[in-house]
Amino acid sequence: MRLAITGLQVSFGARRVVDVDELHVGAAEIVGLAGESGSGKSMTTLAVLGLAHTVGATVRGSITLDGTELTSLSQRELREVRGRRIAAIFQSPATAFSPVFRVGSVVHRALRLHGMSRSEATEAASRAMRQVLLSPGLLDRYPSQLSGGQLQRVAIAIALALRAEVLLADEPTSALDVTVQAEVLEVLRDLRDSSGMAVLFISHDLAVVAELCDRVAIMREGRIVEQGPAARVLSAPADAYTADLLAAVPAIRAEGTP
């Protein structure tokens, strides 16, 4: 198990927004975390990264990465984990990159932050860019000069260059056109297959989840109501809520994972 979440509770004061008994992601697998907007999925990402406090939330429970208990680490130790061992990509790629920095500048700085030398960083960045099917020259551009899909792939490239073990993908395709979505999904599959990354794919779009994920967990109001192999959950749901969600997306029908 790469990432194991047990008994996680994230609260804003007295209000609990996440209450997950069990969720895990293994190496070389894509686990979907699906549910309606506002069901607490994104807070899970923040909690795993140890950044819940930046929005004023408190975290209880256990989050382990390859056996290391993240909730007991200091901020200094967590900073070494962030980016390096657990990577994250966000929903709106155009706003996820600072408009006044060249894209490559952010990539480079991140790589050097985690210990690479200048030449190593340049080399790793180029290699990672090619792996996500982007020309390394694009690193010289500003975010406004790249498309949403390209930006998202650059974000994934950072995770690749740092050889992260886990990727938290928080609604990465929700802001993209359908055709561009396909590019990003392809890259994610490649991550799983070639690099053996554990990917937590968060989305409210069940169609995409069905197409991409090996296993699926359905979240409702902070709780996981059902989880299991994608093919099984999405064709023969055990929970009424899952069935309701599926009913709202008639096109899915037994289209399991590749």
Partner 1 sequence: MIEAPAPLPAQDVVVPRGEALRLGLRANPLMTLGAVLCLVVIVVAVFAPLLAPYPADAGSATHPFAVLKAPSSLHWFGTDNVGRDILSRVIFGARVSPVVAVLVLLIACLIGIPLGVVAGYFGGWLDEVIMRVTDIFLAFPPLLLALALAAVLPPSLTSLVIAIAVTWWPWYTRLVRGQAASVAGRPYVESCRALGIPSYRIVLRHVLPNAVTPLIVQVSLDFGGVILTASALSFLGLGAQDPTPEWGLMVAEGQNYFTTAWWVVTFPGLAILFTAFAFTLLGDGLRDLLDPKRTFLR
Partner 2 sequence: MIVYVARRIATAILVVAGVVVLTFVIARVVPGDPAATWAGPHASAAQIAAARRFLGLDRPPATQLASYFGGILTGNWGVAIHTHRPVLSDIGQAAPASIELVTAAMIIGLIVAVPLGLISARWPGRASDHTIRAGSILGVSMPVFWLALILQLVLSDRLHLLPSAGEFSPGLLFTHPLRQVTGFGLIDAPLTGNWPMFGSQLGHLLLPALVVAAYPAGLLTRMIRAQVLDTIGDTHIQMVRALGFRERAVYGRFAMKLAWNPVVVTLALVFAYSLVNTFLVEAIFDWPGLGEYAAASIQTLDTPAILGVTLFIALVYVAANLVVDVVQAAIDPRIRLR
Count the site residues for partner 1 by CB under 8 A.
17
187 to 246, contacts with partner 2 by CB under 8 A?
A: none
Q: Which does 187 bind (CB under 5 to 8 A by kind): partner 1, partner 2, none?
A: none
Closest alpha carbon to 88 in 186, 198, 253:
198
Q: Going by C-beta distance under 8 Å and a sequence separation of 6 or more, which residues neighbour residue 172?
A: 89, 90, 91, 93, 152, 155, 184, 188, 201
Is 203 a binding residue for partner 1 by CB under 8 A? The answer is: no
Q: Is 38 in the site for partner 1 (CB under 8 A)?
A: yes
Considering the complex, state which of residue 22 and residue 80 has its C-beta at the smaller distance from partner 2: 80
Q: By CB under 8 A, what part of segment 54-73 binds partner 2?
A: 54
2, 41, 82, 108: which one binds partner 2 (CB under 8 A):
82
Interface with partner 2, residue 113, by CB under 8 A = yes
Q: d(Cα 249, Cα 65) in Å, to the nearest integer?
A: 34
Q: Which of 79, 112, 223, 232 binds partner 2 (CB under 8 A)?
A: 79
All residues at 6 or more sequence positions from 11 whose CB lies less than 8 Å from its CB, including other chains: 17, 57, 58, 60
Residue 12 site contact among partner 2, partner 1, none (CB < 5 to 8 Å, cut-off depends on kind): partner 1
Partners of 217 in the beta sheet? 33, 227
> Which does residue 81 touch among partner 1, partner 2, none (CB within 5 to 8 A, set by kind)?
partner 2
Q: Does 126 bind partner 2 (CB under 8 A)?
A: no
Which of the choices partner 1, partner 2, none does residue 22 contact, using the CB cut-off of 5 to 8 A by kind? none
Q: What DSSP state is assigned to residue 51?
A: -
Cα 123 to Cα 112, 167, 172: the distances in Å are: 12, 22, 26
Are the C-beta atoms of residues 166 and 146 closer than 8 Å to each other?
A: no
Q: How far apart are alpha carbons 22 and 217 in whole angstroms?
A: 10
Residue nearer to partner 2 on the CB measure, 174 or 235: 174
Please return the burial class of 250, using the count of CB atoms within 10 Å of its CB with bins 0-12, 13-18 and 19+.
Answer: exposed
Residue given tokens 């975010």 in the structure block: 143
Q: Verify binding: residue 45, partner 1, rule CB under 8 A.
A: yes
Minimum Å gap between C-beta 46 and partner 2 is 8
Residues in contact with partner 2 by the rule CB under 8 A:
49, 51, 54, 79-84, 87-88, 90-92, 95-101, 106, 109-110, 113-114, 142, 144-145, 155, 158
